[in-house]
Structure 1
């Protein structure tokens, strides 16, 4: 990993760089988008950029990677790297883009830190960047090869919308089939695809949506569920989600990536108790997992936990219940802030594992939902003896958890 001189320099300068990383990333993005406006228009999420969350995520990942290098010199933070690589692959990120990022990032570092960036400091942080970048390039190359994709060339494939279902007031399911008639690529339950849409101003914005199932209407049909993002506290409405809700109907064509994502059931999960905990639209990858578990006849206990505002806002509730009921040892606990009449009092409000009879020994947990929900469930699982290594999660949007937990 890092050479000893570089490690010593990074260790000594990490507090200074860490304290300035927000200013550095802000300057970096300003430089990058000035030189390459097409990246903001057609690659980066404009909503996350406006809110500043993408900048926080970049800062957090760099700081987390550097900290890991100096604290664990013989290890590589593969969980973080894999998650970033899957997201990059779904966007079609190419190796030469890392050089573009490097050029503007290091110019920003020099602008912000000035004379503190000695040749030794620059060389050490250059090592950090390329260790991270080259690791990502290698992982992404493997992911592209698995999908038969060439980076930056055939990221997108046209899929026809063959069905649309209004799940709730703000959630719609889109059923898709390859427009060229060729077979749909396989996917692992829990994975997502990127969807690229052309907006009224000509921008081609991209968002990721979990594959919530397959086989509805044919073996080559895949489905995604899209929650309409409504702006709150002065933030704008979600550009892509609102476009899909307002404009896309059966017969339309969408540009969709191959499936990616590392929150998937493991090969050894067949014989262990599982807990699938979700909140809101985080239910979507878990529905696909439940479908697989029900189809395969998973015999170990499966505990399903879901939190939502109300039964009417619980997307895919019928599938949630049906797949759980098909399991030999499945149980479901739905928590609602505004429950329907007759809903159990102990399941009213926020999700609380204290309402469950037990969490079986050896449980492996999969979480998806807002960060506060996942942090709360993770803490409760740890308190019940579930090993940290057996708690897996997915974040919708820029991943800030790894840098903070």
Structure 2
């Protein structure tokens, strides 16, 4: 338990963290990797370069300070991050290292404002928060290791099939190299894939959603090739998978993880909304619903630029034809002439509130969505405009968590 003095000290830093949080976390990662370069094997370097990891950590530190007198309030966030940590291989022994450099970063950035009392309070608070992470993650490691077909760390898988799903997305069907059983997983969960790329000093780990339902003889991931853009480098792992990993290759996977999962106990309708490669966890949920819950109405809405980059369309359309409880809609931002001639989509442009209301027969439903952040922000706004309760809204970020709230203009 934290002392009342420490709680008040931590709370006094909330306004400072709101202003300087990202500067502190940038300095933290500089110190961490400068002194422990081996930890670069656990982190997504692209997220570091783009500042996404620093922002996510700053938001977590800020939330911890804000709720320091009611730490159970941040347990859902701890569990969400814990899933990622378990899938990456973060262990209890890493936490003292992180704590050391986080305190050093606070001192470096805040200078004289980081008094001895404030640093002592943060050291005390970090110990309590780290213990919560360690305890939750220990349970996750144990559950993963002991479940039927489970394993610890990374396990060798062979690429049994590689299927081109669109101009930019390919699916990889992965089977255990040891011939052993496969752990079950919840629709919406992901696996981490660890790659040793020729010429790269460090290994690279990425999370990819499982894009089929559980209970098969394989795991399937469907990966978008992330080419270089104006504000981002090409994705090292995604391009390597597309260009160099073929049928028969061996890759290394951690056991399934993640808390963005389908509520299978709720009997109400389900609405699945996806943009781009965000359809991968939705396909897993869709397949599970079609296989196990034929009485549960499902509305599947997918937004893509056009038919050339729309993955798994034939599979979803075929599924809907044989399952009358499924309603399927496609929205194309920039349809091709072929798309128009084939009447391959239901709406041109973006998903908007008016159209969404028409597409959803019964708004009393569970809503799941995933895709690029602007897409998710638009869907989130629309659902709130429809007065959908927060408890019925579920979403997943690919990569570090961000905010779906609009940025204030000062």
TM-score normalised according to structure 2 size: 0.91
1: distance between equivalents of 2:345 and 2:183?
A: 44
Aligned to 2:11: 11
2: distance between equivalents of 1:265 and 1:235?
A: 32
Aligned to 2:75: 78
Q: 3-state SS of the aligned residue for 2:28?
A: helix
Aligned to 1:116: 113
Pairwise CA distance, 1:353: 4.0
Aligned to 1:181: 179
Pairwise CA distance, 1:344: 8.3
Would you say the 8 A contact 1:175–1:224 is kept in 2?
yes
2: distance between equivalents of 1:298 and 1:117?
A: 59
Aligned residues: 397
Q: 3-state SS of the aligned residue for 1:366?
A: strand
Q: 3-state SS of the aligned residue for 1:199?
A: coil
2: distance between equivalents of 1:88 and 1:260?
A: 10
Aligned CA-pair RMSD: 2.3
Aligned to 1:350: 350
Instruction: Name the stretch that deviates more: 278-287 or 117-126.
Output: 117-126
Q: 3-state SS of the aligned residue for 1:148?
A: helix
1: distance between equivalents of 2:71 and 2:103?
A: 26
Q: 3-state SS of the aligned residue for 2:217?
A: strand
Aligned to 1:93: 90
2: distance between equivalents of 1:299 and 1:2?
A: 50
- Describe how 1:236-385 pairs up with structure 2 within 5 A: 236-269=233-266, 271-339=267-335, 340-341=339-340, 343=343, 347-356=347-356, 357=358, 358=360, 360-385=362-387
Q: 1:193-220 CA deviation, whole Å, 9 max, x = no partner?
A: 00011112242100011111158xx932
Would you say the 8 A contact 1:336–1:349 is kept in 2?
yes
Aligned to 1:64: 63
> Are 1:38 and 2:38 matched, yes or no?
yes
Pairwise CA distance, 1:63: 0.8
1: distance between equivalents of 2:191 and 2:157?
A: 12
Would you say the 8 A contact 2:330–2:346 is kept in 1?
no
Against the structure 1 CA distance between its residues 254 and 2, is the aligned structure 2 distance closer, same or farther, given a 3 Å change threshold?
A: same
* Ranges in structure 2 where 5+ consecutive residues have no aligned partner: none
Aligned to 1:191: 189
1: distance between equivalents of 2:178 and 2:345?
A: 51
Instruction: Name the stretch that deviates more: 304-313 or 395-404.
Output: 395-404
Aligned to 1:391: 393
* Ranges in structure 1 where 5+ consecutive residues have no aligned partner: none
Instruction: Name the stretch that deviates more: 154-163 or 49-58.
Output: 49-58
2: distance between equivalents of 1:273 and 1:385?
A: 16
- Describe how 1:125-140 pairs up with structure 2 within 5 A: 125-140=122-137
Instruction: Name the stretch that deviates more: 108-117 or 363-372.
Output: 108-117
Q: 3-state SS of the aligned residue for 1:163?
A: strand
Pairwise CA distance, 1:149: 7.2
2: distance between equivalents of 1:402 and 1:50?
A: 21
2: distance between equivalents of 1:321 and 1:225?
A: 18
2: distance between equivalents of 1:368 and 1:67?
A: 28
Could you list the structure 1 runs, at least 4 aligned residues long, displaced by more than 4 angstroms after superposition.
402-405
Instruction: Name the stretch that deviates more: 3-12 or 245-254.
Output: 3-12
Would you say the 8 A contact 1:277–1:306 is kept in 2?
yes
Against the structure 1 CA distance between its residues 400 and 127, is the aligned structure 2 distance closer, same or farther, given a 3 Å change threshold?
A: farther
Would you say the 8 A contact 2:370–2:376 is kept in 1?
yes
Against the structure 1 CA distance between its residues 167 and 350, is the aligned structure 2 distance closer, same or farther, given a 3 Å change threshold?
A: same
Would you say the 8 A contact 2:152–2:255 is kept in 1?
no
- Describe how 1:140-179 pairs up with structure 2 within 5 A: 140-148=137-145, 154-179=152-177
Pairwise CA distance, 1:44: 0.9
2: distance between equivalents of 1:256 and 1:74?
A: 33
2: distance between equivalents of 1:328 and 1:78?
A: 40
Pairwise CA distance, 1:75: 3.8
1: distance between equivalents of 2:26 and 2:346?
A: 46
Against the structure 1 CA distance between its residues 128 and 306, is the aligned structure 2 distance closer, same or farther, given a 3 Å change threshold?
A: farther
